[in-house]
Amino acid sequence: MLLTLKQASRWASEHLNKNVTPANITYLIQYGQIESVVDNGLTMVHKQSLEAYYSLDRREKRWKDELGNELNWTLSFEKFKEAETTKHVHRLHPYKGKFIPQLVEYFLDSHTDNFKKDIHFKSGDIVLDPFCGSGTTLVQASELGMHAIGIDVSAFNTFISNAKVGRYNLTHLYEESRKITDALKNFVATSGILEFDAKLAAKLTEFNNQYFPVSFKRRVRVGEIDQKQYGAKKEAAFLKTYRELVAEHQIDLQMPSDSARFMKQWYLPGVRAEIDFVHNLIQEVEHPSTRNALMLILSRTIRSCRATTHADLGTLRKPVTTTYYCRKHGKVCKPLFSILSWWDRYCKDSVQRWGEFGKLKTDTFQHCLTGDSRTIDIFAMLKGINPNFTEQVQKQRIKGIFTSPPYVGLINYHEQHAYAYDLFGFKRLDELEIGPLFRGKGREARESYIHGVAQVFKNCKRFLADDYDVFVVANDKFNMYPTIAEMVGMQIVNQHKRPVLNRTEKNRGSAYSETIFHLKRKKD
């Protein structure tokens, strides 16, 4: 039985008891997850394919078969749409390795689950995240009426976190963003890049419609087409057209590979010129909070504009200056030649997200400190930022911790935002990262990780209330956290193993879990 996109979205919404839009169905078709056909120009979906994809019982059983029956499926949050797991400011800026806000809500909010017997936090409490990352704990604490302190060794992570929970005059921010957008439009118009880009896009659309129809990804998935071989062949076939257009419009593609500056290595000359143009205009904005908000938007913009393939945005391989076969989209794609569309889109989206969060945030204090959580004096650092709150936290003490330390040997946290360090001029402290990718996962790296995380919790204990609760999100495949707990005088009182359904890594189809460890002071 065939369904239209609208009928398919209605069926899925009723089946899942949540809203599934036609756009969600189109996404699944695009990535080969469900089968479709084109009938008289109308995209139709096989109902059987829909039923197979949305079979919840089958999915849960498969994951438990692979990962064990102790898997807590409630903590999968499978009924939440992507828009809910990246709600309001949580999607202001990309960040690898962050957990979803629903996880914080579940363990911090006493009203989240009526079946939870233990209540560990309440409104007015102070929560600490010593591995703050992009500020998820801080944002959710504000929603829940709790104060929150974050710490991160990365200056850019601190900037992201504080930008999310900042307070803005959104009318002023919108007006300033429109002024810059209008100026950028005029700047781009004089370069001739838009005419070139439009011609290239039209040629690509014609080419892709012919050689990469809607059915292409499904045929790759079932093995009818060798994607690598076919994609390389069509990529080569289009290059002649691309080079002719580049020559006709005299597009500069020169990028020095030996430059020490990230911006010169990973951005086409025309794109760099636009970035510099916008950056200079932002520096002329008088109000500091508006200026910071605009800089975050620019950082988000330039991350999307690096000269790389769509599939390699997360882990850069080599600069791309020609059209290429894109494994992510299953067609030939092009490099990005202007930041205008992304800047304009992110300006509007960011103002909207800050507005949505503004309706939910409470009159509480959240701030992320830049420093090493192994040694930082939280009270001393806070005193220079908010003396009144410092007095409160010294009397009240920090009720507990909700955090997700780095996973050993998985991510280089400074390197993932190398473009931003170049843009902002922040000092990099890669050597202070705990468990970075460049140190690997060997015995020495694991021992260093255990020691580092233990030092963090030892230091943080100085600022906690006596009856503290610590929640740590980790994929502890090396069984390190029992040792860490013992080293810092804590005991693991509970463990919650949750399936991670939506991953950004390329192996996101494999079953994967993480554990939420609940730790308390070790009893004498």
- 349 pLDDT higher than 60: yes
CA nearest 375: which of 255, 462, 288?
Answer: 462
pLDDT tens sequence across 206-229:
999 999 998 888 888 889 999 999
Residue 478: predicted pLDDT: 94
Residue 256: predicted pLDDT: 73
- 497 pLDDT higher than 90: yes
- 129 pLDDT higher than 50: yes
Lowest mean pLDDT among 145-149, 220-224, 229-233: 220-224
- 506 pLDDT higher than 70: no
Residue 113: predicted pLDDT: 54
DSSP string, 302-367: HHHTSSS-GGGSSS--S---S-EEETTTTEEE-----SHHHHHHHHHHHHHHHHHHHTT--S--EE
Q: What is the mean pLDDT of the chain?
A: 90
470 and 457 in contact (C-beta within 8 Å)?
yes
User: With b meaning 16 or more CB within 10 Å and e meaning fewer, what string describes 285-321?
Assistant: beeeebebbbbbbbbbbbbbbbbbbebbeeebeebbb
Residue 11: predicted pLDDT: 87
Which position has the higher pLDDT, 508 or 278? 278
Q: What mean pLDDT do residues 102-130 have?
A: 81
Which position has the higher pLDDT, 140 or 15? 140
% residues pLDDT > 70 (the chain): 94
Which position has the higher pLDDT, 328 or 463? 463
> Can you name the residues that pair with 42 across neighbouring β-strands?
39
Lowest mean pLDDT among 237-251, 272-286, 495-509: 495-509
- 269 pLDDT higher than 80: yes
Residue 114: predicted pLDDT: 44
pLDDT tens sequence across 233-250:
999 999 999 999 999 999
Residue 57 to residue 64: CA distance in whole angstroms: 11
Residue 455: predicted pLDDT: 98
The three-state (H, E, C) secondary structure of 101-137, written as one string: HHHHHHHHCCCCCCCCCCCCCCCCCEEEECCCCCCHH
Residue 416: predicted pLDDT: 87
pLDDT tens sequence across 66-99:
888 889 988 988 878 888 899 999 999 999 888 8
Q: What mean pLDDT do residues 432-450 have?
A: 93
Residue 259: predicted pLDDT: 62
Residue 41 to residue 140: CA distance in whole angstroms: 45
Secondary structure of residue 141 in the 3-state scheme: helix
Lowest mean pLDDT among 8-12, 188-192, 261-265, 514-518: 261-265
